[in-house]
Amino acid sequence: MSSGNLILILGDQLSTAVSSLAGADRGRDRVLMAELHEETTYVRHHKKKIALVLSAMRHFAAVLEEEGWHIEYIRLDDPENTKSFTGEIERALDRQPVERIVVTEPGEWRLLEQFRQWSQRFGVPVDILTDDRFLCSRSDFAEWASGRKQLRMEYFYRDMRRRTGLLMDGDNPIGGKWNFDAENRKPAKPDLFMPRPLHFEPDRTTADVLGLVGERFGGHFGDLEPFWFATKAQQAKAALDQFIEHALPSFGDYQDAMLRGERFIYHSVLSAYINIGLLDPLSVCRAVEEAYASGAVPINAAEGFIRQIIGWREYVRGIYWLKMPDYVEENVFSNTRPLPDFYWTAETDMTCLREAITQTKEDAYAHHIQRLMLTGNFALLAGVAPREIHEWYLAVYADAYEWVELPNTLGMSQFADGGLLGSKPYAASGNYINKMSDYCRDCRYDVRLKTGPDACPFNALYWDFLVRNRGTLGANPRLGQVYRTWDKMDPAKQTSYRESAHVFLTTLT
Q: What domains can you pick out in the chain, each with its CATH number?
A: 5-129 (3.40.50.620), 138-197+247-323 (1.25.40.80), 342-505 (1.10.579.10)
Nearest to 327 by CA among 398, 389, 403, 396: 403
- Do 85 and 8 touch, CB atoms closer than 8 A? yes
Do you know the residue count of the chain? 509
Rounded to 10 degrees, what is the CA torsion of 441, 443, 444, 450? -70
Low-confidence ranges of the chain (pLDDT < 50): 1
Closest Cα partner for 313 from 281, 286, 291? 281
Work out whether strand 30-34 and strand 70-74 pair parallel, antiparallel, or are unpaired: parallel
Given a contact cutoff of 8 angstroms between Cβ atoms, the answer to whether 443 and 148 are in contact is no
CA 65 vs CA 235, 283, 465: distances in Å: 19, 25, 55
Of 476, 329, 337, 339, nearest to 417 by C-alpha is 329
Task: Report the pLDDT value the prediction gives residue 184, as an integer from 0 to 100.
Answer: 66
C-alpha distances (whole Å) from 324 to each of 114, 169, 336, 455 are: 15, 37, 21, 40
Per the CB < 8 A criterion, the answer to whether 28 and 66 are in contact is: no
Is residue 472 within 8 A of residue 425, CB to CB? The reply is no
3-state secondary structure of 262: strand
For residue 381, give the nearest of 358, 415, 431 by alpha carbon. 415
Q: Express the helix, strand and coil content of the chain in percent, nearest 5 each.
A: 50, 5, 40
The CA distance from 77 to 6, in Å, is 22
**pLDDT given for residue 271 in this prediction:** 97
Phi, psi of 228 (to 5 degrees): -130, 5
Q: Please say whether the beta carbons of 16 and 110 come within 8 A.
A: no
Residue 294 to residues 169, 176, 291, 451: CA-CA distances in angstroms?
16, 18, 5, 52
CA 98/CA 92 separation, integer angstroms: 9
Any idea what the Cα angle at residue 179 is, between residues 256 and 302, rounded to 5°?
Answer: 70
pLDDT at residue 506, rounded to an integer: 94
Closest by Cα among 72, 82, 6, 104 to 37: 82
pLDDT of residue 193: 65
Say what the pLDDT of residue 191 is.
63
What angle is formed at CA 426 by the lines to CA 424 and CA 427, rounded to 5 degrees? 110
